[in-house]
Structure 1
Amino acid sequence: MTIHLKQPNQILAQASPLPVPVTVAPGDGIGPEIMQASLKVLLAAGANIALEPIEIGKAVYLAGETSGIPANAWDSLRRTRIFYKGPVTTPQGGGYKSLNVTVRKALGLLANVRPCVAHAPAIATRHPDMDVVIVRENEEDLYAGIEHRQTDEVYQCLKLISRPGCERIVRYAFDYARAHGRKKVTCFTKDNIMKLTDGLFHRVFDEIAADYPDIASDHMIVDIGAARLADTPHAFDVIVMPNLYGDILSDVAAQITGSVGLAPSANIGEHCAMFEAIHGSAPDIAGQDIANPSGLLLAGVMMLLHIGQHKVAEKVHNAWLATIEAGIHTADIFRPGHSAQKVGTAAFAEAVIARLGQTPKVLTPASYATHAQAVTVWPAQKRKKALKELIGIDVFIHADAPVAELADALKTVENGLFELTMITNRGIKVWPGGLPETFCTDHWRCRFMAREGKQFNRAMVVELLRHLTQQGLDFIKTEQLYTFDGVPGFSLGQGQ
């Protein structure tokens, strides 16, 4: 059976009445091959879906659309609310933005859910008992993509973490654990260093964990957590993380199970959901019929669960398990003397179809008969506004002068209302005091604070910047310093 994505009516004729509409994008590289194989299995199993194909990715980028996704594709996604997506190639250079990040953020797909499960002895792994779900925050953190070059030597990327974003992803992780019968949720952050941003994520995790007394919870600094995930993954159940850590460690966890090519991903939001493999488009093997379609096929299983077609999801998953258990493997997981047969992309799909209705004999069968409905995505909660008071300003200066010379110039702009209190370079305090061994660039953070008993205000900001201009100082960025209900909303300098 051939699936012609450009002729969706041929597919609709195979489906039962009132199929669920699904927007489908084959993607780039190996995408069309693994999408063809996956759809063939899903439809053969009786998936009640109506496919609405769209074109996204490299060709769209090169046609001049820097997001990689045209307007008609957005129309389809907002109409179907379900997106089954192949991997996409983002062209190098040219200012092209990641299509995945764009779709996730534009459609509010806040939760990236990545099950990482070992399938020993069918697939080789050092950790046969591994069964971890990583829930990754999808919209914030460094993936805001706000970057600037500020001086000859220094570039900046902003890390944005919001309380509503933390609350929604953490609550989703606990609700997911409860819905899927999982016993523990672990939080990974680096809040020993990033005390405000990662500190907020950790604090919200602890607050929300108290609402789920039936589920164990703990927190780890991300570096030791990553080490333990690689060494003893069976110690974890559900792990929730900010965006960057989740992106990196979900790939690591998937590889630990045996191959990144096996890992599916669901991106869940309040209004839409997207399902994809976690791997890339692998253009070096495109068109060779050797790619493993398993990640995308299992993402299809997650999609079927999301739209309530649990029996079909169970049927597909068990047929896939029976296939790999039989030793029918694509090249990435094939082992001479262990695997029974090396097959290509299309042949692997046919092998799964041949086993529809079967269950594995050694591997644990999938069972979704009592599977819960899709996990609720909580709307952002309104909170009482804090009392916000301006008490100072950080002015970032581009200068090649020694710090003592810079400090002398900056102190000339002081007045009876505010004073220079600190200069840092890449976060480390270099004035007053500082060590001669500290390496400095041409990028300086200069902190001015209201003098004791005085109140900083916006007019003082303008006056300060005017005086800096008169001194010929090149200020490139400012950050106003506030307290919120009396608590400082800014970090100290390292060494302060």
Structure 2
Amino acid sequence: MTTRDNETKTFTIAAIPADGVGQEVVAAGRQVLDTLADVSGGAFNFDWREYDWGSDYYAQHGVMMPEDGPDQVKDADAIYFGAVGWPTVPDHVSLWGLRLRLCQGFDQWANIRPVNFLPGIQSPLRRADDTHLDWVVVRENSEGEYAGFGGRNFSGRPGQGQVATQSAVFTEVGCERILRFAFELAQTRPGKKVSSVTKSNAQQYGMVLWDEVFDRVAADYPDVETESVLVDAMSAKFILHPEDLDVVVASNLNADILSDLGSALAGSLGLAASANLNPERRYPSMFEPVHGSAPDIAGQGLCNPLGALGSAALMLDHLGLPDEAKRLQLAIEDTCRRRVLTPDVGGAATTVDVTKSVIDALA
């Protein structure tokens, strides 16, 4: 961040639209964020630096991003990411070649995924009709099941004898830092409750370690209510007793799945915002919707930009602009309340229509 004329704060943002609808929603987010800057009275602005990395880049160069890609963006104040994945590139190549390379390389170990039930959007949960529901999934984002530890061997054996191993890695340090993060987040929320999710009855090493660290950390936060729930039971709880949820903390894989379930219950994956945080701020954090690249609707102008706009609100808060983050969130709610909605949530509006509605609410 730089300051011009001792007044205007300039935030350098690395924009990586990447693949499919990621290009559309990042463009929408940039318009909305620039509108907020325009109406700030010169308090702040954005220096956008866009990078063309993704599956098209892979088609030309054989890699999802250049070797020095992380060095090119490491000094940004934040990364605004679209979506990764395209039918011409194997999913594990696109994910590990771009998104996970940035997340793990920049030690973005805390992934935050709020589950917001917005006005005007029908939830498949009957409970949502008359109950206030609001929780956040905290995902360990650096190790666990997505550590990339394993390999494939014996490919030369006849008769399909190849063996693949994929090991989940849990460290005491990794468990403790994400659990403390969850407790400190819970202390800022009205519910003041942390639900820890594992499968420690079947995974008796890594997830038992997680449970032990959870119990130890919980003792330091006596004002926060706690529970430990197996992941299958928590999946049911998301549907049967969502009013009991506040902060749900889980490993990389379990939180990934549960957060998608939460967004579907809120109405659509197109609503899902997220923040990949390096809480120590040694590296830039990355903000992205979690809906994926959606090749089936890419380029049609029908994708839902609200997940990307919610992610922009999380970015504003991270940049020290909490009032602007709240203002953007209220503009999103106003747009939903007026039923300016894309087809995935029962509307007939285009991406441009929704973006314009949010901009109108801001301006």
Q: Please state which structure has a larger fraction of its residues in helix.
A: 2
Gaps of 5+ in 2: 38-43, 155-160
Q: Distance in 2 between matches of 1:148 and 1:172?
A: 32
Match of 2:358 in 1: 352
1:82 equivalent to 2:82? Answer: no
Where 2:238 maps in the other structure, the secondary structure is: helix
SS at match of 2:83: coil
For 1:69 and 1:233, the matched residues in 2 are separated by 40
1:253-272 equivalences in 2 (<5 Å): 253-269=262-278, 270=280, 271=282, 272=284
Cα distance change of structure 1 residues 141 and 94 upon mapping to structure 2, 3 Å threshold: closer
1:143 corresponding residue in structure 2: 146
Is the 1:137–1:169 contact (alpha carbons within 8 Å) kept by the matching residues of 2?
A: yes
CA deviations over 1:344-384 (Å, ceiling 9, x no partner): 00111111111126xxxxxxxxxxxxxxxxxxxxxxxxxxx
State how far apart, in whole Å, the 2-side matches of 1:242 and 1:331 are.
32
Give the C-alpha shift of residue 55 in structure 1.
Answer: 2.0
Q: Does 1:276 align with 2:285?
A: no
Structure 1 residue 314: Cα displacement: 1.8
CA shift at 1:76, angstroms?
3.2
| Residues 111-168 of structure 1: CA deviation (Å, up to 9, x unaligned) | 1000001124443442423211000000111211233234515421111111110011
- 2:214 counterpart of 1:209: no
In structure 2, the residue matched to 1:365 is none
Residues 54 and 73, structure 1, Cα contact 8 Å, conserved in 2: no
Q: What runs of 5+ residues in structure 1 fail to find an aligned partner?
A: 1-12, 336-341, 358-496
- Report what 1:36 is aligned to: 27
Residue 158 (structure 2) aligns with:
none
Equivalent pairs: percent with the same residue?
33
Q: Which of the residues 53, 58, 77 maps onto 2:55?
A: 58
In structure 2, what is the Cα distance between the partners aligned to 1:101 and 1:24? Answer: 16
1:93 to 1:282, Cα distance in 2 relative to 1, 3 A: closer
RMSD between aligned residues:
2.1
- Structure 1 residues 52-79: Cα deviation after superposition (integer angstroms, max 9, x where no partner): 211221123223454x222453123211
Q: Is 1:252 aligned to residue 251 of structure 2?
A: no
Is residue 322 of structure 1 aligned with residue 320 of structure 2? no
**Distance in structure 1 (CA, Å) of the matches to 2:343 and 2:321:** 31
Q: Bigger relative contact order, structure 1 or 2, given CA contacts below 8 A and separation 6+? A: 2
In the other structure, the counterpart of 1:107 is 106
In 2 relative to 1, CA 289–204 (structure 1 residues): closer, same or farther, beyond 3 Å?
same
- CA 1:93–1:190 in 2, change beyond 3 Å: closer, same or farther? closer
Give, in angstroms, the shift of residue 180 of structure 1. 3.9
Larger radius of gyration: 1
**What is the count of residue pairs matched by the alignment?**
337
Equivalent residue for 1:23, pick from 14, 29, 35 = 14
How far residue 230 of structure 1 moved from its aligned partner, in angstroms, is 2.3
Q: Is residue 241 from structure 1 mapped to residue 250 from structure 2 by the alignment?
A: yes
Contact 1:329 1:348 in 2 (8 A): yes
Matches within 5 A, 1:169-184: 169-184=178-193
Question: Distance between the aligned counterparts of 2:245 and 2:92, measured in 1?
Answer: 41
Deviations 1:272-304 (A, max 9, x none): 211000110111211111100000011000000
Question: How high is the TM-score relative to the length of structure 2?
Answer: 0.87
SS at match of 1:187: strand
User: Counterparts of 1:299 and 1:278 in 2: how far apart (Å)?
Assistant: 9
Deviations along 1:403-448, one digit per CA (max 9) or x if unpaired, are xxxxxxxxxxxxxxxxxxxxxxxxxxxxxxxxxxxxxxxxxxxxxx
1:70 aligns with 2:61: no
SS of aligned partner of 1:135: strand
1:325-404 alignment, distance < 5 Å: 325-334=337-346, 342-356=348-362
Give 1:34 shift: 1.2
One-letter code aligned to 2:335: T
- Structure 1 counterpart of 2:346, one-letter code: F
Relative to the length of structure 1, the TM-score reads 0.65
Q: CA deviation at 1:181?
A: 4.2
Q: 1:96 to 1:34 in 2, by over 3 A?
A: closer
Could you tell which deviates more after superposition, 200-209 or 43-52? 43-52
Query: What is the CA distance between 1:214 and its match in structure 2?
Result: 1.0
Counterparts of 1:326 and 1:191, CA distance in 2: 45
- Residue in 1 aligned with 2:325? 313
Partner of residue 157, structure 2: none
**C-alpha separation between the residues in 2 aligned to 1:317 and 1:89?**
28
**Aligned partner letter, 2:166:** C
- Runs ≥4 in structure 1, deviation > 6 angstroms? none
Q: For the residues of structure 2 that align with 1:104 and 1:314, how far apart are their CA atoms?
A: 26
Deviation for aligned residue 1:20: 1.2
Contact 2:135 2:247 survives alignment (8 Å): yes
Deviation at 1:35, TM superposition (A): 1.2
1:177/1:185 contact within 8 Å kept: yes
Deviation by residue 1:381-404 (Cα, 9 ceiling, x = unmatched): xxxxxxxxxxxxxxxxxxxxxxxx
- Distance (Å, rounded) in 2 between the aligned partners of 1:120 and 1:300: 19
Change (3 A) 1:311 1:279: same
Whole-angstrom distance in 1 between the partners of 2:186 and 2:51: 34
